[in-house]
Structure 1
Amino acid sequence: MSALPQSEQTPLLANGRENSQNTSMTNRFATIIKAEGEPSWGASYKSFIFGTYLNVLLIFIPLSFLSHHLHWDAALRFTFSFIAIVPLAKLLGDATEQMSAKMGQTLAGLLNASFGNAVEIIVGVAALLQGELRIVQTSMLGSILSNILLVLGCSFIAAGFKFKESEFQAVGAQASGSFMVLACITLVIPAAYHSTQTTPGGPDGQSTVASIISGFSDLDPSGKAGLLVISRGTAILLLGVYITYLFFQLKTHPDFFEAKDAPEEEEAKMSVIAAASGLLGVTVITSFCADYLVASIEETAERYSIPKPFIGLILLPIVANAAEHVTSVFMAMKGKMEISITICVGSSIQIAAFVVPLLVIVGWMTGHELTLFFANFETIVLFASVLLVNTLIQDGRSNYLEGVMLVTLYLVIALSFWVA
């Protein structure tokens, strides 16, 4: 029996190869959409939306939209938007955690740098574009103080209920603390420059008040230009140092920041693609709620005699850091103090060395003269807080008394800004 001509065999072979390639591409696409062992899309979104009772507060999202567009009372607009951001912050944290669990350390670090403080970035940009430079500065400062004093203090106290003393990697904590000192110094320098450029007492003795309200309205044109150059140049340098810190933490010296006993891996609740889509959707919704919140601050503060610095420094950061508060305390109670330190101090470093410089550069691009100059009182408060935290974490141990110290200092600062 004679063999078939080659022309009659080739189409079958070609079709076989083509089908094989199509099958391979289909499998590759399916792997991207849902990797083997990952939950389905339905299970992912079910866990995302119904995974916690806190999501009951999502009902305030439509209330926030309605109150803004129907021009309800400022207090209602502020309250609805304020409460709506709480579950959104938790969802942002959950989605980021699920995505990070499926990636390498470097990609996870970059992801956390981008989205770990997404609410702070969104609130900051919204306030910046509306010209609320003081809200930008106080909310950023408040986020730093909230993390290193309130959240870390509550974590120490929570751990103290279960353990007489908790231990963590002292070397990594010291490295993070030193970075916070650097970030603090970069805020002291603009304040020092401002004081050298300002006439003592100012016109009619009002220079301090003017500084607090406008940032640098009491400076002459050359002084303003110098302050902008210092702030923008420092912002660029801080971003560069922050990238180096990430490389140090995630690539060259990860053992400095890892627990002695590696925590067990938790089962994934969402697929990577579902987590990414959830992250994008929540970020968009949060941006609207943050915009409505910032837009109502001025009227709310005036009508109900609430100091704007108190809103920016105390109220907004507590909402923005809601997810971190819960996670850090929970990890501390499980004895995973390294994770709590990373969440609290690491998040403060992100704010000081990534988010604040980023907002200064965004302001530069959009024509808003945001600087790194903070009022003398705020600079002293930050320096004292960083000093206390550094003192307490140097030995690599913590107890409930240290937590009480941190929370007490935070309450004193809150009280002082209430009467500011």
Structure 2
Amino acid sequence: MTDSRASEMSPPPLVRALSKGRSSSAMVEQAKAEARAFFLDSKLNILLVAMPLAFISRFTGWGDGATFALSCLALVPLAERLGFVTEQLAMYTNDTLGGLLNATFGNATEMIISAFAMIQARKTLRTDPASTTTYLRVVQLSLLGSVASNLLLVMGTAFIAGGVKTKAQTFSQTGINVNAGMLILSCFAIMLPSLLDATKSGASDNNKSELALSRFESVFMFLCYCVFLYFQLKTHRHLYEEDSSSANTPINTGATSTRRPSHSGGGGAFTPPLGGDVELATSGAVGAGAAAAAGAGNGNGNGLVVSLSRSSLDGRDITLDGRFASRPVERTTSGGRSSAKADRERDVERLPLVLAANRAEDEAPDDDDDSHRSAAKDDDDEEEELVLSKTGCFLWLTGVTIFISFLSEFVTDAIKGASTNLRIPMPFLTTILLPIVGNAAEHASAIVFAYKNRIEIALGVAVGSSTQVSMMVVPFCVLLAWTMGLPLDLDFNGFESFVLFGCVLLAVLVVQDGHANYLKGMLLLLTYFFVAAGFWCHKDAQLVVKE
């Protein structure tokens, strides 16, 4: 899909009806169609029943544990629907703006939760500094957990799901390697303040050095991510798109043709040129028969001009519409003009037979390729079906964001009490459970794509989302906290820094060979279980909740 897809994308029928007339019934039908698509197209929407229960629990005093659990359940379908509405809105724009929309709203749940945690931290900045530190640690650990869950849990389950159906899946390494480099850069930048803190040898400046370094790095990390978006969506977009050269190769009708290998293998029979090319127009009887045979052979019936080369009878090569190239051989005849004329006449007589033979050789493979292409096209059309109108996209986007904001506030307010009521350690709650809730929709889509043998899309979801969080969301939160007067930095403790380093290292090593299988998925998934167990046992004085 090119940058002109906004003009090529046809709006829904009801939208076209609305643009032509002002029928109120058409508006009602469009609203019904959009509501049906929003509420009934996803099986996760069954969890929306938890949303009113979360409001009831919050305002009637069911307890922090119930409010936290119900709010997390309701966030799962809302996050998935937010992605759906964003994709619909992106269809009305070009690829660049659509990519920016997906990048902005892809991790909107994590950003909103982090923003409300910082709002809570600002409220307690002067009255309760310990609570302020706790909320800032929630922001840090939730973002760390988002990177870990995408690289280990999402990619691991995707590899297992794809390996169950397909023995080995391959993917392009070029685009993935660029993302891997961005991940390594973000890991190094995040670890530097922690290393600075660990090597101060007892000197204390109230973490001013770590805070200044974190803000300095965040500015350039965010700018680097903007450059990465320009690289990905504009200058090097081909690295992140499926290879369609075989399906969309233009037919070469010029004098210089490209040789296509024979399906029958071996050398085949080629006709070298012995003189100037003779053009056969479709007006003559022989030309018409040749054009008809060629049109039936390659599926193109429009005024075909056949370029025929003179040659000897024992080594024929027909240069037809860019399909076969001529190669020079030694001239073995010495008959002069009369012999050349006889050869030319024999070439013309044999031309329909040669074209028919070529058609028979190429018919089965070409038909098979066309069927695959049409099936892939049907899949793409099904995935990119335009349902929502442009106005509907903005309305649904606004409504979903408002409800996510309310539920995020419920989660951040109840997280300390939920840790006590549910008897779940705060590090595990913030690093493992919250990211799973925020990325649940991405988890499901990556598994489905991998099972359908579209592993590159699944990797784009897992690795691309991790790159967004580490290079965009993390620095954005640091800069947002700076504007709010909060001391949010990148100073993780030693255990958390090593976890981040291990996750990035293992993920980069796994994707280096360009192959995916279930064993690699098991390695990633088992590593995530180890990380989860480690955070269950992790003790952090800044996250201790008093009974």
TM range (shorter): 0.7 to 0.9
Tell me the residue number matched to 1:220.
204
Residue 62 in 1 paired to residue 52 in 2?
yes
Look up the equivalent residue of 1:59 and give its one-letter code: V
Q: What CA distance in whole angstroms lies between the structure 2 residues aligned with 1:161 and 1:220?
A: 54
In structure 2, the residue matched to 1:158 is 161
State the partner residue of 2:506: 388
2:221–2:471: 8 Å Cα contact kept in structure 1? Answer: yes
Verify: 1:30 aligned to 2:14, yes or no: no
Any conservation in 1 of the 2:91–2:98 contact (CA below 8 Å)? yes
Q: Give the match for residue 404 of structure 2.
A: 286
- Whole-Å separation in 2 of the counterparts to 1:28 and 1:186: 53
- The structure where helix makes up a greater share of residues is 1
Contact 1:128–1:136 under 8 Å retained in 2:
yes
1:390 partner letter: V
Larger radius of gyration between Structure 1 and Structure 2? 2
Tell me which residue corresponds to 1:98.
88
Which among 189, 214, 237 is matched to residue 220 of structure 2?
237
The aligned amino acid for 1:30 is: S
Q: Distance in 2 between matches of 1:337 and 1:307?
A: 35
Helix, strand or coil for the counterpart of 2:35? helix
Once residues 316 and 354 of structure 1 are traced to their aligned partners in structure 2, the CA distance between those partners, rounded to angstroms, is: 19
TM-score normalised over the length of structure 1: 0.84
2:451 aligns with: 333
* 2:244 corresponds to 1:254: no
Kindly report which structure 2 residues correspond to 1:75-154, keeping only aligned pairs within 5 A, or say none: 75-131=65-121, 132-154=135-157
Q: Cα distance, 1:55 vs. partner?
A: 1.1
> Please, which moves more after superposition, 311-320 or 43-52?
43-52
Q: Secondary structure at the match of 2:187?
A: helix
Please point out which of 257, 269, 277 is paired with 2:387: 269
Q: Following the alignment from structure 1 to structure 2, what is the Cα–Cα distance between the partners of residues 241 and 52?
A: 35
Is the 2:83–2:102 contact (alpha carbons within 8 Å) kept by the matching residues of 1? no
Pairwise CA RMSD of aligned residues? 2.1
Q: CA deviation at 1:269?
A: 2.6
Residue aligning to 2:260: none
Q: Is the 8 A contact 1:41 1:271 kept in 2?
A: no
User: What displacement does 1:161 show?
Assistant: 1.4
Deviation at 1:365, TM superposition (A): 1.0
> Could you tell me which residue of structure 2 aligns to residue 213 of structure 1?
none
Structure 1 residue 89: Cα displacement: 1.1
Runs ≥4 in structure 1, deviation > 3 angstroms? Answer: 27-31
* Alignment correspondent of 1:49: 39
C-alpha distance in 2, partners of 1:99/1:280? 12
Q: Structure 2: which 5+ residue stretches go unaligned?
A: 1-15, 23-28, 122-134, 245-375, 539-547
* Selected match of 2:465 from 320, 343, 347: 347
Instruction: Report if aligned partners of 2:155, 2:458 keep a CA contact under 8 Å in 1.
Output: yes
Q: How has the CA–CA distance of structure 1 residues 28 and 104 changed in structure 2, closer, same or farther, with 3 Å as cutoff? A: farther
Partner SS for 1:40: helix
For residue 270 of structure 1, report the CA deviation from its aligned partner: 2.1
Task: Give the secondary-structure state (helix, strand or coil) at the position aligned to 2:381.
Answer: coil
Number of residue pairs aligned between Structure 1 and Structure 2: 370
Please report the TM-score for the alignment, with normalisation by the length of structure 2. 0.65
**SS of the counterpart of 2:199?**
helix
Distance, in Å, in 1 between the alignment partners of 2:31 and 2:405 is 25
Partner residue, 1:22: none
- Encode CA deviations 1:76-123: one digit per residue, 9 max, x unaligned: 111111111111111112112222233211101110121010100011
How far 1:332 sits from its partner (Å)? 1.0
Q: 1:251 is aligned with what amino acid?
A: K
Instruction: Tell me whether 1:196 sits opposite 2:199 in the alignment.
Output: yes
CA distance in 2, matches of 1:311, 1:198: 32
* TM-superposed deviation, 1:329: 0.9
In the alignment, residue 91 of structure 1 is paired with which amino acid? R
Instruction: Indicate the residue corresponding to 2:61 in structure 1.
Output: 71
Q: Pairwise mapping of residues 3-42 of structure 1 onto structure 2 (< 5 A)?
A: 30=19, 40-42=30-32
| C-alpha contact (below 8 Å) 2:154/2:446 kept by paired residues | yes
Look up the match of 1:204: none
Q: Distance in 1 between matches of 2:92 and 2:152?
A: 31
Runs of 5+ unmatched residues, structure 1:
1-26, 34-38, 200-218
Mapped to 2, the partners of 1:78 and 1:331 lie a distance apart of 31
